[in-house]
């Protein structure tokens, strides 16, 4: 890219940040009551007798009414001191010190509000802090009305002169999403204290015309233990369009509620200060012209601010748009905080602070050096926040107008604008990505819907992300197709059409445009979540219906009393229902076609389970009795996402590894061994191998990926050769399924791959359950060949992706070369795993 023009440094509206400040020391706090045994969280606080102030809500109670203005203050519950908190060693704020600090600031400032917006996986409170000038209730209602007008009536908002003058432009600062990337929290606390107490006139003027929101620590569980993921071992900065984790759902809701014009996601550490915007490929659904003009300008502003700190270690500032080659730090996937926030109208950034203090450095460096580094890092965080607030304040009217225009284009259904070379310095053909929005997506009701529970899940997910969905009250026609009442319509003339489309479109194949990708590059809720979704490219959309708040119930029993029931496992929810019934002690049977038979005597339980999981039981046809199916126990050597998915389906899962088996794990109580990570047959000691052989005489095996294929080969299970595809290949692929196969007769025609495998030299007794599509099976994502020409998509075309068979000991074995549970995302593929488990456990 062309070199960027240098902006002339201006006078910071918020003054100069503290340089070389002493490391923040953990506060001394008095041990509070155990939150599990303390007062009720909804207890209302009495007037504070020391200050005379009233209205502080007690223990995280956040009930907001139309009468509330700002501040909205909460007496946060105080957690016991934890001397093992990993932040302490760095001289940073341990989690237990944050609530006392915020309680104290609230007591002495009427500019600060604190709310609990959720809990982490381990139950720690998540704090949203709002800094703004005090508002009376009617002023807050007006701000809320303007925010709604900007999104839902952008044409009116663009003409609203009073809105243009008085709307408080929101800014969102997100800290510590990766638990061992600490200093976003500490820089935020420093800025909260400053904005809450300063007498600087420019800062006070900022708070009159803006709201500044701080998610103080997005991942408190990771912060305390000093690890990147959350307690479920998920990377929260890969979860945004899936929303599988509680912390991610809290951040999603913050983005929707605050509707920021700008946001920062504070990270570390990349050996220099990194400030987005990213390099290409850029997400193809963005109104990128409206993003990049401010995204680049403020990126340069932040660069100036960081360099002005004077820290030698922070002088190497990298702006990927300007400095990085294609694909090395891209903005393609909507799974990241900054790329997701753009869909809600924000000019957003990932910030990477420079000096490593985690992992190896945390263990090896002296405490004094770690604290020196963390102090510099905190300065950098504070500087990026100050520079951004400075930029937003100076460009407030244009940024608000920018957000209005994003939503206006979406509501009008306008095409994405072409962006000329040089639109900003360095913009060229490599930056130009675009897509065509369809007229609508339809999630049909009735007989053409593959899975009612999957459809309801998808609808609820879209609505939770602020995508507008309509439920038809009458039958209608669109694009030559007829749809019954009860069908759902996603009209693509809506403000957040880009977010709707990035979830529902097939996506793009960027293999030829980017030599590599930073992370995943293919996803599609339409193709991978298990519901039937039609694409109406054009047509006259006339649907009489109502906006959806929640999808209609889908569960039920479609058979008369006294009749046996049946359920086909075509979705993870169906597996949850089966496992629920088995957990109740109900005797089920599984037929050769994979259908589950529920005895008539269990009708009451079936009704309860149908309502709970949204599944429908049909009338069992006369036929074979089927094989008994009992409650299954799975020994799982799997990754955290697979463990999460298996438990989400209600399986009884016991995590194992080579070490666990060598330590004498009792396989006699296990029905199925699932091997995809952390298990090596050759690494087992003689006793563990003997126990495994005894298990194979009665149990089943399901494997995935390189670890699973190696285990299969070393243990001598199925006679196949596993071929490894390109290691970084990932995305959505086309597949063909065995209509009478093990993974389900109604398996989806698409699957997901990451470092894919396929199987050749298939021996006697092995069945192919699924093949990659012929030719190039990649539907969206990034998949190229190795330098020697191997491992590419055309080499995989037509090859076996999933196989099954019975080994010499009688064990039923299924091998997956795909990724059916990747990061809990491809929910429509879960049923393939469940069916494989049920089949492998059946003798």
Catalytic residues: 352
H or E segment and range at residue 324: none
- Strand 766-772 and strand 279-282: the pairing is unpaired
C-alpha closest to that of 819 among 701, 713, 733: 733
Half-sphere exposure of 208 (CA within 13 A, CB side): 8
Residues 215 and 133: beta-carbon distance below 8 Å: no
H or E segment and range at residue 566: strand 565-567
Q: What is the DSSP letter of 132?
A: -
Tokens (6 digits) for 253 = 């809701």
Separation CA 532–CA 696 (nearest Å): 38
Do you find a cis peptide bond into 269, omega within 30 degrees of 0?
A: yes
- Taking residue 39's Cβ as centre, other Cβ atoms within 10 Å add up to 11
- Taking residue 678's Cβ as centre, other Cβ atoms within 10 Å add up to 17
Residues 275 and 299: beta-carbon distance below 8 Å: yes
Q: What angle do CA 793, 812, 824 make, to 5 degrees?
A: 50
Rounded-to-10 torsion of CA 406, 407, 410, 411: -150
Separation CA 401–CA 167 (nearest Å): 11
Separation CA 609–CA 596 (nearest Å): 14
Q: Is 20 exposed, middle or buried (0-12, 13-18, 19+ CB in 10 A)?
A: exposed
Tokens (6 digits) for 810 = 């009688």
C-alpha closest to that of 133 among 183, 203, 190: 203
Separation CA 498–CA 288 (nearest Å): 11
Q: How many residues does the chain have?
A: 843
- Decide: helix, strand or coil at residue 618: strand
Q: In what order do the strands lie in the sheet with 470-472?
A: 534-536, 440-443, 488-491, 470-472, 545-547
Residues 379 and 21: beta-carbon distance below 8 Å: yes
Separation CA 104–CA 110 (nearest Å): 12
C-alpha closest to that of 284 among 490, 510, 493: 510
Task: Give the phi and the psi of residue 95 in degrees, each rounded to 5.
Answer: -55, -40
Dmax (CA) of the chain? 83
Task: Give the phi and the psi of residue 364 in degrees, each rounded to 5.
Answer: -100, -25
Separation CA 646–CA 838 (nearest Å): 13
Separation CA 515–CA 785 (nearest Å): 11
Tokens (6 digits) for 575 = 């597996």
Separation CA 729–CA 709 (nearest Å): 18
The residues, any chain, with a CB within 8 Å of residue 766's CB and separated by 6 or more, are: 718, 719, 720, 803, 804, 805
Q: Sign of the C-alpha dihedral, residues 127, 129, 135, 138?
A: negative
- Decide: helix, strand or coil at residue 528: helix
Beta-bridged to residue 730, according to DSSP, are 754, 782
- Which residue in this structure is represented by tokens 């929303």? 243
Beta-bridged to residue 536, according to DSSP, are 440
Residues 357 and 374: beta-carbon distance below 8 Å: yes
């Amino acid at each position: 890219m062309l070199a960027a023009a240098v902006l002339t440094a201006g006078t910071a509206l918020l003054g100069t940040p503290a340089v070389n400040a002493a490391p923040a020391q953990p506060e001394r706090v008095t041990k509070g009551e155990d939150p599990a045994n303390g007062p009720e969280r909804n207890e209302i606080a009495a007037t504070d007798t020391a200050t005379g102030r009233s209205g502080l809500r007690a223990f995280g109670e956040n009930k907001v009414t139309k009468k509330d203005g700002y501040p909205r203050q909460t007496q946060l519950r105080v957690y016991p001191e934890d001397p093992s908190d990993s932040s302490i060693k760095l001289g940073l704020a341990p989690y237990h010190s944050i609530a006392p600090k915020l309680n104290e600031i609230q007591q002495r400032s009427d500019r600060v509000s604190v709310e609990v917006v959720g809990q982490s996986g381990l139950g720690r409170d998540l704090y949203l802090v709002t800094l703004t000038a005090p508002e009376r209730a009617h002023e807050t209602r007006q701000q809320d009305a303007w925010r709604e007008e900007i999104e839902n009536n952008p044409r009116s908002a663009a003409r609203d002169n009073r809105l243009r003058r008085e709307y408080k432009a929101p800014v969102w600062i997100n800290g510590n999403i990766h638990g061992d990337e600490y200093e976003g929290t500490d820089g935020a606390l420093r800025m909260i204290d400053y904005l809450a107490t300063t007498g600087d006139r420019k800062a006070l003027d900022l708070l009159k015309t803006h709201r500044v929101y701080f998610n103080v620590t997005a991942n408190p569980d990771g912060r305390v233990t000093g690890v990147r993921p959350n307690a479920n071992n998920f990377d929260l900065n890969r979860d945004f369009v899936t929303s599988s984790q509680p912390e991610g759902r809290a951040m999603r809701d913050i983005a929707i509620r605050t509707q920021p014009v700008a946001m920062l996601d504070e990270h570390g550490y990349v050996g220099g200060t990194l400030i987005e915007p990213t390099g290409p490929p850029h997400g193809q659904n963005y109104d990128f012209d409206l993003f990049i003009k401010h995204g680049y300008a403020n990126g340069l502003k932040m660069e100036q601010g960081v360099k002005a700190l004077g820290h030698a270690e922070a002088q190497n500032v990298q702006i990927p748009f300007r400095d990085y080659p294609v694909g090395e730090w891209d903005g393609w996937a909507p799974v990241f905080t900054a790329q997701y926030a753009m869909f809600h109208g924000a000019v957003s950034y990932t910030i990477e602070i420079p000096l490593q203090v985690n992992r190896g450095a945390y263990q090896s460096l002296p405490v004094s050096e770690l604290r020196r580094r963390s102090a510099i890092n905190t300065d950098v965080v504070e500087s990026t926040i100050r520079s951004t607030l400075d930029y937003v304040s100076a460009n407030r009217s244009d940024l608000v107008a920018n957000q209005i225009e994003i939503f206006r284009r979406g509501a009008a259904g306008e095409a994405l604008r072409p962006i000329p070379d040089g639109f900003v310095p360095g913009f060229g053909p490599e930056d130009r990505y675009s897509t065509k929005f369809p007229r609508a997506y339809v999630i049909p009701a009735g007989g053409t819907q593959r899975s009612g529970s999957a459809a309801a899940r998808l609808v609820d997910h879209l609505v939770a992300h602020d995508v507008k969905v309509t439920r038809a009250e009458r039958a209608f026609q669109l694009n030559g197709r007829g749809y019954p009442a009860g069908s759902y319509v996603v009209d693509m003339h809506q403000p957040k059409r880009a977010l709707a489309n990035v979830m529902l479109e097939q996506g793009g194949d960027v293999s030829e445009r980017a030599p590599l990708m930073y992370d995943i590059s293919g996803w599609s809720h339409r193709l991978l979540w298990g519901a039937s979704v039609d694409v109406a490219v054009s047509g006259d959309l006339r649907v009489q219906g109502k906006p959806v708040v929640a999808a209609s119930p889908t569960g039920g029993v479609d058979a008369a009393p006294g009749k046996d029931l049946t359920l086909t496992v075509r979705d993870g929810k169906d597996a949850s229902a089966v496992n629920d019934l088995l957990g109740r002690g109900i005797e089920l049977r599984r037929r050769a076609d994979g259908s589950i038979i529920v005895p008539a005597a269990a009708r009451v339980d079936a009704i309860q389970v149908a309502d709970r999981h949204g599944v429908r039981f049909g009338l069992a046809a006369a036929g074979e009795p089927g094989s008994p199916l009992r409650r299954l126990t799975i020994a799982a050597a799997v990754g955290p996402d697979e463990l999460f998915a298996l438990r989400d389906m209600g399986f009884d899962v016991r995590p194992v590894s080579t070490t666990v088996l060598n330590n004498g794990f009792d396989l006699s109580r296990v029905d199925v061994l699932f091997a995809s990570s952390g298990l090596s047959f050759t690494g087992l000691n003689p006793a563990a191998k003997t126990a495994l052989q005894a298990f194979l005489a009665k149990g089943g095996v399901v494997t995935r990926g390189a670890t699973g294929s190696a285990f299969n080969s070393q243990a001598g299970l199925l006679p196949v050769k596993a071929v490894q595809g390109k290691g970084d290949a990932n995305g959505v692929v086309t597949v063909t399924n065995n209509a009478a196969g093990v993974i389900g007769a109604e398996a989806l025609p698409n699957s997901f791959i990451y470092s894919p495998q396929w199987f050749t030299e298939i021996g006697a007794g092995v069945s192919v359950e699924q093949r990659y599509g012929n030719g190039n099976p990649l539907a969206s994502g990034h998949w190229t060949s190795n330098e020697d020409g191997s491992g590419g998509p055309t080499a995989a075309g037509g090859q076996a992706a999933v196989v099954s068979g019975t080994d010499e000991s009688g064990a039923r074995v299924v091998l997956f070369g795909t990724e059916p549970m990747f990061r809990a995302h491809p929910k429509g593929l879960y049923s393939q795993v469940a069916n494989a488990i049920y089949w492998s456990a059946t003798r």
